[in-house]
Structure 1
Amino acid sequence: MLFRRLTAALTVAAVALTGCATRQPAPSPTTPAAADFPVEVSVPGGSTGLKLEKRPERIISLNPSSTEVLYAVGAGKQVVAVDDQSTFPAEAPKTTLSGFKPNLEAIANQKPDLVLASNDIDNLVAGLGQLKIQVLLVPPAKTLDETFAQVSAVGKATGHAAAGEALAQRMRADIDKIVGETRKAVSSSGKPMSYYHELDNSLYSVSSKTFVGHVYSRFGLVNIADEADKSNSGYPQLSAEYLVKANPDLIFLADTKCCGQNAQTVAARPGWQTVTAVKNNGVIALDDDIASRWGPRVVDLVRTVSSAVSAAAAK
């Protein structure tokens, strides 16, 4: 559980989802040209002014979100290795490389000319810099705008600038359209709907300050975990008593794979039968991987939340 919570915190627990295809937006056609380089790339909260003299042809990704972005912008053929947590797309060359405990020698053995990482853990940037290997830091996004900016930056850094920009614009438009078409998140009592997002079955959750919390806020949903986040970590642990008393209208489970949770197991928890989400079939099973990533499949998260809100509002 500790590893899972660390993973969630580092990757921004942010979702799929019952009845929702985990499709990845297709990149726009583009023909990378050597003339596009050199380029200078900056990422919100990450690398600033990283200058790439030529298009990287051997790329390593040390975080799952960056792996998904690389393939979505059309840079998949340039990827030679991805970390042990990258599970999508299936063709990504998964290895034992770790983004949590990076092994410089193992990374260097892959002869990369660019490494994407979510943070500078263990002085990764300096260590690889001594080996003449450049690192693009792509940190956990805090907002959807940061996600769009990262998609554009990765496209630019890999020689797929047009595709990256097109994908970012398409994601923004899709999300705006989905949110705009969603029924207003108001319960039958006339109050804004509340929700609980479950990271694991020890009742760790996310507050509105996290990436996934930001996504839910687009729908006007009220996060019951906010009041419990006394340390402002963004990842409070709730008690069963607190949760039952908060009585959320919707429950989103991001622990279906790790912990085998679903609507039935939640309903079987002592005292939870009285919770509105349980009584009104408002328990939504998510895909653990999508729920912890901020890449292109966030559109699937938005679509699933939309379906849940509209269904609950119709009752």
Structure 2
Amino acid sequence: MRPVRTAFAGALLATFALAGCGQSDGTTAKATAPATASEPAGFPVTVKAENGDVTIAKKPERIVSLSPTATETLFAIGAGPQVVAVDDQSNYPAEAPKSSLSGFKPSVEAIVAQKPDLVVVAYDNDKIVAELGKLNVPVLWENAAVKIDDAYDQIADLGAATGTKAKAEEVVTGIKTEIDKLAQAAPKDKKLTYYHELDNTPYAATSSTFIGQIYGLFGLTNIADKAPDAAGGYPKLSAEFIAQADPDVIFLADVKCCQQSKDTLAKRPGWKALSAIKNDQVVQLDDDIASRWGPRIVDLAKTIGSAVSKASN
């Protein structure tokens, strides 16, 4: 699994700073055209994605998702029955029609063989957006979220694109409500510091990133913000830097990929005496949930909230 994680980490570092999304409610002439007997209400619709304004003529019936985040979102908003194939990294939900398709090394031929009327991607690897465009296949490029609002906006995008706008709005409202409730309930008086480990290289994520903003809601201070190359959002930290910062809580997002735990951390030079290790404040996250920006960010928020409460007692 390590090669996949390495590929993801590279894509993560390169794309989290480039996300941009938005949804149009159909203010163009095409988008506001009246529905016919063969066109469900709301179509044609124009959605603003990373690849510009994408007009979808009719409700998609054969969606191909090359983004694990988009896959989770599509099923959460009720568009699951419209999905005919997902990429090899889309492992949630269980009923998603997983295939050998790759979002990192996309094959135009393999994608087209699924006869899609909509393809959703998180990365434009091998210029797949333009290549599918040449074949008149509608593509939504929903890049990695930079802000929490980007995640909400992408859910809205997919809702508009698939004819499930109302359900998408319901999902967004539910996420916002739950995360706000969790954040407000978390104790913040101890001013806890934390370290979020992306992989055991180790790379971290600063407060300016999507993941860092979620931690920020819980009043946590990110040690990575003071790293020498923190400006890029995903600095590679030295073992010495982390040992000196001595975070109160350590969150590991490299459990599945790299089998990291409190015990493995304790074997790193100079780490055995870290407060988080001595006080049993090392939190093992689900790698997938911690690296995606879809509906399950609520689950991540719950884990963070529980960890903050435990560390504050």
Does TM-score exceed 0.5, indicating one fold? yes
Where does residue 203 of structure 1 map in the other structure? Answer: 202
Distance 2:179 2:141 in 1: 25
Residues in 2 aligned to 1:277 and 1:206: alpha-carbon distance in whole angstroms: 18
CA shift at 1:255, angstroms? 0.8
Give the equivalent residue in structure 1 for 2:32.
none
Partner of 2:220: 221
Larger mean Cα displacement after TM superposition, 107-116 or 209-218: 209-218
Q: Answer yes or no: is the 8 Å Cα contact 1:11–1:292 preserved in 2.
A: no
Of 234-243 and 246-255, the range deviating more from structure 2: 234-243
1:10-89 to 2 correspondences below 5 Å: 12=16, 34-43=40-49, 46-89=50-93
Change (3 A) 1:307 1:212: same
Q: How does 1:59-208 map to 2 (within 5 A)?
A: 59-184=63-188, 186-187=189-190, 192-208=191-207
1:275 maps to 2:274:
yes
d(CA) in 2 for partners of 1:285, 1:201? 13
Pair 1:256 & 2:255 matched: yes
The answer to whether the 8 A contact 1:12-1:292 is kept is no
Which residue type is aligned with residue 257 of structure 1? K
Does the 8 Å contact 2:12/2:144 carry over to 1?
no
2:122/2:143 contact within 8 Å kept = yes
Q: State whether structure 2 residue 313 is matched by structure 1 residue 307.
A: no
| Secondary structure of the corresponding residue to residue 209 of structure 1 | coil
1:75-104 CA distances to partner (integer Å, 9 max, x unpaired)? 111101111111101111111111112111
* Contact 1:207-1:229 within 8 A present in 2 as well: no
- The verdict on how the C-alpha distance between 1:203 and 1:120 changes in structure 2, with shifts beyond 3 A counting, is closer
What's the secondary structure of 2:55's corresponding residue?
strand
Describe the shift of the 1:11–1:312 C-alpha distance in structure 2 as closer, same or farther (beyond 3 A): farther
Q: Deviations over 1:193-212 (max 9, x none)?
A: 11111112222111122211
Measured in 2, the distance between the counterparts of 1:36 and 1:162 equals 11
AA at the equivalent of 1:95: S
Query: What's the Cα RMSD here?
Result: 1.8
SS at the partner of 1:49?
Answer: strand
Question: Who is 1:295 aligned against?
Answer: 294
User: Normalization by structure 2: what TM-score?
Assistant: 0.87
Specify the code of the residue in structure 2 equivalent to 1:79: V
Which deviates more, 125-134 or 64-73? 125-134
The runs of 5 or more residues in structure 1 that have no matched partner are 14-32
1:137-172, Cα deviation, whole Å (9 max, x unpaired): 111011111111111110110010100011011111
Pair 1:269–1:126, CA change in 2 (3 A): closer
- Pair 1:256–1:231, CA change in 2 (3 A): closer
Distance 2:167 2:228 in 1: 39
Question: In 2 relative to 1, CA 312–231 (structure 1 residues): closer, same or farther, beyond 3 Å?
Answer: closer
**TM-superposition CA deviations, 1:177-203 (whole Å, max 9, x none):** 11011111x43xxxx211111112222
**Equivalent-residue separation in structure 1 for 2:286 and 2:152 (angstroms):** 22
> Quick check: 1:197–1:254 contact (8 Å CA) kept in 2?
yes
Normalising to structure 1: TM-score of the pair?
0.87
- Shift of residue 264, structure 1, vs aligned partner: 2.0
Q: Decide whether aligned partners of structure 1 residues 47 and 8 sit closer, same or farther in structure 2, where only a CA change above 3 A counts.
A: closer
SS at match of 1:309: helix
Cα distance between partner residues in 2 of 1:243 and 1:125: 40
- Quick one: distance in 2 between partners of 1:231 and 1:290? 23
CA distance in 2, matches of 1:7, 1:84: 16
Q: Deviations over 1:44-73 (max 9, x none)?
A: xx2433211100000001110000000000
Distance 2:230 2:265 in 1: 27
Gaps of 5+ in 2: 18-38
**Cα 1:83/1:212, change in 2 over 3 Å:** same
Q: Give the aligned length.
A: 288
